[in-house]
Structure 1
Amino acid sequence: MDYFVYCRDRPGVMELRWELAEAHWSFMDRYAETMIARGPTLTPDGEAATGSAHIVGLPDAAAARTFAFEEPNYRAGVYDDVLIRRFTNTLGRTMWEFPGGREGLLIIAHDPATAAMPGELVAAEDRDRLIACGPLLSDDGTQWLGTAIMAELPDRSAAEAMMARAPVRYATVEVHPWRFGGRPAA
C-alpha cells in the first residue's frame, strides 16, 4: 500500500531543520526502495522550507504512522501538523522517472464534491505535467478524501487553471511550491 504523508513546519524552525538534515536523510534512506516521491514545500521565494511531503509504500496504516512520527524532524518538534492518507499511485512510477524538471507545485485537494471518484483526476491536457498524482483515501481505502498532485507548474495561477479543468471540484485546495527532495548529490 502507498501512503501520502505531509508534514507542515512550525514557524521559525529552519535552523533546526538544517541541524537535522543528515538524520532526516539517513531515516529516509531506510525507505528508499519504496519511495515514490519526496521533497520539501517552500516559501513563495523558495528560500525556506514550509513542510515535507512523502509518498511511500508501506505495509499498513500503523507503519505509515511509524514513518511519520519516528522521523527525526517530527521527534525534534519541526512539524506542527501531520497529514497521513492512503494513496493510489495513478501514474505507476516514481518522481525519478518523470522526464521533466525537478521542481513545481504540490497540490492537496480536500473533500471532493462527489463521493464517486472520476476515472481521471486531472484533464488529459495536464497529464504530461504530473510528477505524482493520486487519490487520498481513508485508512481502509474505502473513502475518497481528496487528491494529491505534484506537478511541473510555474505558479499558483497555473495550478488553479489545472484544477479548474479537473473533472471534480473540492472544498479546499492547497498549493505549495515544492521540489524534489533527498540527499544532495556529492
Structure 2
Amino acid sequence: MEYFFYCRDRVGSWPLRAELIETHWSFMDPYGEAMIARGPTLLPDETPTGSMHVVDLPDATAARAFAFDEPNYRAGVYGEVLMRRWRAMVGRTMWDFTGGVDGYERFLIIGHAKPGMAAARESLSDDYRRYLTGADYGDRMIVGGSLLSEDGNEWMGTALMAELPDRKAAEAVLPNGPCGRAGMYESVEVHRWEFGGRR
C-alpha cells in the first residue's frame, strides 16, 4: 500500500530539525527501496516548513509507525501530520524524473477535496490522467497521485510534485485541471519543495 505524508513544522522548530537531521536520515534509511518521493518544503529564505514523503508500506500500522515513530515527530519538530493512502497518476519515482530546466523551481501542490466528491472524481479519472501526463505537464510532473481515505475508498484530494517556471504556474495546475474546473477542491496549497534524503 502506498501512502502520502506531509508533516508541517512548528514555527521556530528549525534549530531542532537541523540538530536531528542525521537521526532523521538514519530512521529513513531502511525505507529507501520503498520510497517514491521525499523532501522538505521551504520558505524563500530556505527555512524548512515541512517534510513530504510518499512511500510503499505493508499496511496502516506500518504507516502510523512511519509517521509517528519518526525522530522529528517524537521531538516536536512537527505540529501537524497529514497521512493519506496514495494512488499514483504519474507512474514513476522522483529518482526517475529526468527533467531539470534552468530557472525552474520545484513545488509540492496539495489539493484538499470537498466532502462527497469520490463519485464525481472517478468519472473524471481518465481526463485527469491525460491532463497531468499530456503535452502541457507530462515532462514537468515529477510524481503525482490521488489522496485517499485510510480504507482507500474515498477520494480526499490530489498531491503533485512538479517542476515549473514559477509559483504562479504552480498555483494554476489544480484549479485549471478537470477537478478544479468542476469545483471539487475545498482548498489548494502550494509549497516550494526540493528533493530530500542524503546528499
Which residue in 2 is equivalent to 1:163?
174
1:46/1:61 CA distance change after superposition, 3 Å? farther
The CA distance in 2 between the partners of 1:13 and 1:130, in whole Å, is 30
Q: Cα deviations across residues 12-68 of structure 1 (Å, max 9, x unaligned)?
A: 11111111000000111010010000000001x142100000000001112111100
**TM-score, normalization: structure 1?**
0.93
- The amino acid that maps onto 1:30 is P
Contact 1:46 1:177 in 2 (8 A): no
After superposing the two structures, state which structure 1 stretch, 111-120 or 172-181, moved more.
111-120
**Please, which of 190, 193, 197 is the counterpart of residue 175 of structure 1?**
190
Runs of 4+ in structure 1 deviating by more than 3 angstroms, as ranges, are none
Q: Distance in 1 between matches of 2:166 and 2:142?
A: 15
Within a 5 Å distance, the mapping from 1:18-167 to structure 2 comes to 18-43=18-43, 45-101=44-100, 104-112=106-114, 114-115=117-118, 116-117=120-121, 118-119=125-126, 120-121=128-129, 122-123=131-132, 124=134, 125-167=136-178
- Post-superposition offset of 1:153: 1.6
Distance 1:155 1:78 in 2: 28
Once the two structures are overlaid, the 10-residue window that deviates more, 71-80 or 95-104, is: 95-104
Aligned-residue CA RMSD in angstroms? Answer: 1.6
Provide the rounded CA distance (Å) in 2 between the counterparts of 1:92 and 1:101. 18
Tell me, in whole angstroms, the C-alpha distance in 2 between the residues paired with 1:14 and 1:154. Answer: 27
C-alpha displacement at 1:157, in angstroms?
Answer: 0.8
Q: In structure 2, the residue corresponding to 1:182 is in which secondary structure?
A: coil
Corresponding residue SS for 1:85? strand
Question: What percentage of residue pairs aligned between the two structures are identical?
Answer: 60
Specify which structure has the higher proportion of helix. 2
2:7 is equivalent to residue 7 of structure 1: yes
**Unmatched 5+ residue regions in structure 1?**
none
Rounded to whole Å, the distance in 1 between the matches of 2:114 and 2:100 is: 29
Deviation per CA, 1:93-137: give whole Å up to 9, x if none: 110000113950000100158323222254532122111100000
